[in-house]
Amino acid sequence: MRGKIVLLVIISFILTNVVAFLDEGIQTFDYLNHVADWFALILYTILFLIFPLVIFYRTKYSVKRKFEYALLGFIPVVLLILLQLK
């Protein structure tokens, strides 16, 4: 179970990096050079992770099924990424 939660955190961190990368522009990783931006990156990771964790802990199925339902919590973040690509 702990491994699935760690995997959710990793997925959230990757999605947060994608959002920040697309927000800054395709040619730069400038957001990784400043301490304040790292703090914001961690804060956004936690915010993006809240909904999937709530789904994970509220679902009353097996751990695998809980994880699959928790992945649905990332749909708003994926939609945000897709909207930034336009």
**Tens-digit pLDDT profile for the chain (86 aa)?**
889 999 999 999 998 888 877 776 655 667 677 788 888 889 989 999 999 999 999 999 999 999 999 999 999 989 988 887 76
- Report the pLDDT value the prediction gives residue 22, as an integer from 0 to 100: 77
Which DSSP string corresponds to 17-67?
HHHHHHHH-TT--GGGS-HHHHHHHHHHHHHHHHHHHHHHHH--S-HHHHH
- Report the pLDDT value the prediction gives residue 28, as an integer from 0 to 100: 66
Domains of the chain, by residue range, sit at 2-81
